[in-house]
Structure 1
Amino acid sequence: MTSFYDTLKTYDWEDVKQNIMDKSKNDAIAAINNPHRTLDDFMALISPAATSLLEDMAVEANRLTLERFGNTIQLYIPLYVSNYCTNFCVYCGFNHDNDIHRKMLTLEEVQAETDVITGWGFKHLLLVSGEAPAVTTVDYYEKVIRAVRDKFSQIALEVQPLNTEDYARLHEAGLSFVCVYQETYNEQQYPKYHPKGRKANYRYRLETPDRVCTAGVQKMGIGALLGLEDWRTDSFFTALHLKYLEKTYWRSKYSISLPRLRPHAGAFMPKDPINDKQMVQLICAYRLLDQQAEISISTRESREFRDHVMHLGATSMSAGSSTEPGGYVVPHKELEQFAINDSRTPQEMVEAIKAQGYEPVWKDWDAWM
């Protein structure tokens, strides 16, 4: 059986980058007007030539989003269960070399954290951890999921890549959504950012969504860490990955995240940062390419930016987030993976969503549906 890796190997990174840069304004206009947009159209929509057409793109993105999702923004919250990590990712505060205090939540601490979270109204929970398989084992994740599953309608996981059997096991325990980000699709440059640890295995990470979908998990989230490599090229390969998954595993739902690098422990600085205007262009381009995919914008972004992009294609947002284990009961800050940008409380976020003419959604489905 072929995988996305086989598809990816038929493309050359530099050729794709040049093809995007070569797109003209007329190409972008044609892409906006094409009701059956292709990946070639997506190249035009994220190209420099399309920057003067952002208003037209925004109007179409808003129309498509309202048609599919209505005036709603789904709310979720991350729960960091551990910051132990055996990887050496240069851009991450959890890097094994960073001198930070390490902590893994006990089941009692998990219950205390979720008591706070449910008190705020959340029904969608994202469990997050550093990648330390000998510490945060599959057994541990299963116990956590089973311990809290009655409190939430959706439990998602953003941890180390697992095998198909482990995903099936966690799915049976109550897992319904997995997020795994490739960080960059540039295989040649990938080792520079992931010099050691299991995450250094580019192909194993790349094929994680195949294993998740094969295991029957209902929803899969993908994305690239914007700023490591050329954001346009990485975004094209994210779109290519999305289309491959939708065709191969058509029963699953999909979500795209657009994380930008944020301040963290360590000295790494992004190579190719993406600015706010370019982020708007990218969000619109994703929506024009795919009307069905959810688009998630986290608290990495500013409050002003998040309020603005509710009208451009975003469908899911976190609120009141902490990026450290135990941060909802007793915040420490020195345990953080990265610094939060939008620090509004969940209630403040609810009011902001309503002020934009949208309805905050705490719960939009149950596993039995």
Structure 2
Amino acid sequence: MSFFDLLQHYERPRVEAQINAKTAADVERALAGERLHAEDLPALLSPAAEPFLEAMAQKAHRLTVQRFGRNILLYAPLYLSNECVNGCLYCGFSANNQVPRRTLSLDEIETEARVLHDQGFRHILLVTGESPKTLGNDFLAAAARRIRHLFSSIAIEVYPMETAGYQEMVAAGIDGLTIYQETYDPELYQRMHTFGKKRDFAFRLATPERGGAAGLRRIGIGSLLGLGDFRFEGFCTGLHALYLSRHFWRTQLTVSFPRIRPADGGFQPLHPVSDRHFVQLICALRLLLPDVGLVLSTRESAQLRDNLLPLGITQMSAGSCTAPGGYADKDHSTRQFAIDDDRSPAEVCRLIRARGYEAVWKDWDAAFLERAAGQ
């Protein structure tokens, strides 16, 4: 059974009613368990759990230190292009927006990569819009081959591919995939994606499964917070992560928590997520998914990111720019959205250490696999 088939059993109104019906006693039972299951998640996402946030935070902290130590992996996004043919209402790259479009050449990509390398990054995320005529598999593979000697890990956040496409990416030196479903509510998904291939809800939902089948080492999922109700989206995200961990147990999973930020087009969140609910969501998913990496981006403010460090976060971006070419030439006119934490990577690193954690620039190298294959 695919995750798409499984999700058909969890209609939004029924899930939301189940979550809202949970009581304080349900929350206490969930917190008392050694290992949570999917049926425990509604209680921790419920309004009844809000008075228990401190207890949830303390348990989330203990679990994270047990599983991951006090390590925070730092990474940076490298935007290759903002060209896109999709009509996503919330995105600055949307084809609906009259903004300058730019796609980097291989030389420009290498220049951007060297800026990040010189700052200390060894894990990067290649990001593009969706424009098949400009951005194909060959372009991404060539970009990865051009810069892979600079980094220990290269992931992609691009258009969904077929399994064969992801196999091409693996051959080019890419080992990770980030793909946000945006919203797990099919009806809302259709409203938010007015045209383009991204409008295909089922195809996008199955993307992590195709990436896992292709042998990608890391897969990251998440929903765009501010579209649907965070309680329903959090439940589906947790369910999705459990499904992937069972079916692709060799793959490292991460969950991200992107909240909508100001962008060209002026889209406003339909269901704004408060900082308090943001914390509840992070803690609930850490308790459900003790071995899954939790990712926090520069969408969030410096103060909030600093305070969230002990609650289960294991990966953070730093010094991010969401515009193609923005690291080398400082032109941010083509950015996807505005970041909130504009501290330099060095500043973020110092803060992490001041809080008693270790900033990790490199925790993986493809040479590990090459040596193992040669034995």
Q: TM-score range by the shorter chain?
A: over 0.9
Q: What is the aligned partner in structure 2 of residue 317 from structure 1?
A: 316
1:155 maps to 2:151? no
Q: What is the identity, as a one-letter code, of the residue corresponding to 2:2?
A: S
Over residues 229-260 of structure 1, what are the superposed CA-to-partner deviations in whole Å (9 max), with x where a residue is unaligned?
Answer: 11110110011111111111111110000000
Name the counterpart of 2:373.
none
Which deviations, in whole Å up to 9, do the C-alpha atoms of 1:92-139 show, x marking residues without a partner?
000101010000000000111011111100000100001112211100
Give the aligned partner of residue 5 of structure 1: 4
Between the aligned partners of 2:184 and 2:282, the Cα distance in structure 1 is 19
Match of 2:372 in 1: none
Question: Kindly, what percent of the aligned residue pairs are identical?
Answer: 45
Deviations 1:278-315 (A, max 9, x none): 11111111110011100000000000111111100000
Q: Structure 1 regions of 5+ residues with no counterpart?
A: none
Q: Give the equivalent residue in structure 2 for 1:20.
A: 19
The 1-side partners of 2:132 and 2:282 are apart by: 34
Query: What is the SS of the residue equivalent to 2:187?
Result: coil
Q: 2-side partners of 1:55 and 1:306: how far apart?
A: 17
CA distance in 1, matches of 2:117, 2:351: 20
Residue of structure 1 in register with 2:359 after alignment = 360
| C-alpha distance in structure 2 between counterparts of 1:368 and 1:291, whole Å | 28
CA distance in 2, matches of 1:14, 1:298: 30
Structure 2 unaligned blocks of 5 or more:
369-375
**Distance in 1 separating the partners of 2:317 and 2:231:** 25
Code of the aligned partner of 1:26: A
**Cα offset, 1:367, TM superposition:** 2.3
Note the C-alpha offset of 1:364: 0.6
Alignment match, 1:58: 57
Question: Helix, strand or coil for the counterpart of 1:328?
Answer: helix
**One-letter code of the match for 1:118?**
H
Task: Report the CA distance between 1:20 and its aligned residue.
Answer: 0.6
Q: What is the identity, as a one-letter code, of the residue corresponding to 2:170? A: H
Give a deviation string over 1:255-288, Cα, whole Å, max 9, x none.
Answer: 0000000000012211111111111111111110
Q: Equivalent residue for 1:281?
A: 280
Give TM-score scaled by structure 2 length.
Answer: 0.97
Residue of structure 2 in register with 1:109 after alignment: 108
Q: CA deviation at 1:368?
A: 3.9
Give the deviation of 1:347 after TM superposition.
0.5
Deviation, 1:39, is: 1.4
Consecutive aligned runs of 4 or more in structure 1 exceeding 3 Å deviation: none
Q: Which amino acid aligns with 2:341?
A: D
Secondary structure, counterpart of 2:132 in structure 1: coil
Question: Which residue does 1:347 correspond to in 2?
Answer: 346
**Cα deviation, residue 333, structure 1:** 2.1
Task: Report the AA paired with residue 301 of structure 2.
Answer: S
Cross-structure match for 2:293: 294
Q: Distance in 2 between matches of 1:325 and 1:94?
A: 11
1:1-369 matches, cutoff 5 A: 2-369=1-368
Shift, 1:36, TM fit? 2.0
- Give deviations 1:196-233, integer Å, cap 9, x for gaps: 00100000000001100000001110000011011110
* Aligned-residue offset at 1:174: 0.6
Rounded Cα–Cα distance in structure 2 between residues aligned with 1:71 and 1:11: 36
Alpha-carbon offset, residue 86 of structure 1: 0.4
State the TM-score, normalizing by the size of structure 1.
0.99
Q: CA deviation at 1:28?
A: 0.7
CA distance in 1, matches of 2:35, 2:358: 29
Q: Distance in 1 between matches of 2:365 and 2:113?
A: 18
**Aligned residue-pair number:** 368
Deviations along 1:166-201, one digit per CA (max 9) or x if unpaired, are: 100110111110001000000122111001001000
- Give the whole-Å Cα distance in 2 for the aligned partners of 1:316 and 1:293: 11
